[in-house]
């Protein structure tokens, strides 16, 4: 059984990680794709759990070697998705969940479109997003302002996604996410459908 890909995008502070954690018991076995980044770890973040933290030079070597499914520069740092663990999870029939930006979604959709389902997660308003970013107190004001500016651009790409989740109440948003995740598992590639037709016809 071939796996499936679920891409999640949305502004920093939209609550993507919280939603995944709340819905984890409803979506079965999955692999959460851990991004590789050149940014410094935040307090409490661990290498190999939250991100793979590498230097700019190491990341650029990976680009040259073709190790990334997608990568982008965000706030002056590289973020990317390593191909090897993704392919291993797909071959085991797992749902692979990505938390990547709008640019990353476009690249993954272009490369693996038949296996991709996508959802854009956002707070109900820009004002609410600002409130959450300041409340979590993990970044200084200049970074928060940059995240808000980026969010204004990201929201313009919302029509590129299969689904939109308005994260106003966590239980409701988590339930909607679980429905989308389970539907993603049912999506079939044209190759799989062709196999089914051949079997069905015999």
47 DSSP 8-state letter:
B
Query: Does 17 count as an annotated binding residue?
Result: yes
The answer to whether 14 is a known ligand-binding residue is yes
Task: For the chain, list the domains and their CATH numbers.
Answer: 4-33+94-201 (3.40.50.300)
Please name which of 187, 159, 186, 163 lies closest in space to residue 176, comparing C-alpha atoms. Answer: 163
Does 85 or 155 have the greater pLDDT score?
A: 155
Q: What pLDDT score does 84 carry?
A: 85
Mean pLDDT value of segment 85-110: 89
The response to whether 44 counts as a known ligand-binding position is no
Mean pLDDT over 104-131 rounds to: 91
pLDDT tens, position by position, 20-43: 999 999 998 899 999 899 999 988
25 secondary structure, DSSP code:
G
Tell me the two tokens of residue 107.
């690249």
How many angstroms separate the CA atoms of 140 and 137, rounded? 8
Is the confidence at residue 202, as pLDDT, over 80?
no
13 is in an annotated binding site: yes
48 has binding-site annotation: no
Confidence of residue 190 (pLDDT cuts 50, 70, 90): confident
Report the pLDDT averaged over residues 67-75: 87
Q: What is the pLDDT of residue 2?
A: 62
82 appears as a binding residue in the annotation: no
12 is in an annotated binding site: yes
- pLDDT of 50: 87
Q: What is the overall mean pLDDT for the chain?
A: 90
129-158: b (≥16 Cβ within 10 Å) or e: bbeebeeeeebeeeebeebbebbeebeeee
Compute, in degrees rounded to 10, the torsion defined by CA atoms 100, 44, 90, 66: 60
- Is the model's pLDDT at 44 over the cut of 70? yes
Q: What percent of the chain has pLDDT over 70?
A: 99
- Consult the annotation and say whether 35 binds a ligand: no
Residue range 47-69, pLDDT digits in tens: 988 899 999 999 999 999 999 98
């Amino acid at each position: 059984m071939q796996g499936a890909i679920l891409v999640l995008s949305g502004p920093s502070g939209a609550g993507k990680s919280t939603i995944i954690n709340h819905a984890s018991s409803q979506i079965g076995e999955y692999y959460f794709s851990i991004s590789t980044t050149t940014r410094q770890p935040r307090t409490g973040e661990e290498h190999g759990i939250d991100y793979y933290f590498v230097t700019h030079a190491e990341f650029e070597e990976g680009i040259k070697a073709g190790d990334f499914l997608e990568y982008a520069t965000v706030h002056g740092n590289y973020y990317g998705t390593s191909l090897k663990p993704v392919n291993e999870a797909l071959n085991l029939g797992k749902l692979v969940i990505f938390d990547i930006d709008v640019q990353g979604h476009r690249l993954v959709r272009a490369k693996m479109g038949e296996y991709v389902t996508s959802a854009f997660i956002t707070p109900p308003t820009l004002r609410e997003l600002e409130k959450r970013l300041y409340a979590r107190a993990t970044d200084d004001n200049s970074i928060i302002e940059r995240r808000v500016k980026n969010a204004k651009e990201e929201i313009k790409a919302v029509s590129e996604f299969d689904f939109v989740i308005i994260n106003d109440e966590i239980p409701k948003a988590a339930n909607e996410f679980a429905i989308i995740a389970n539907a993603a598992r049912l999506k079939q590639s044209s190759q799989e459908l062709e196999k089914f037709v051949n079997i069905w016809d015999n």
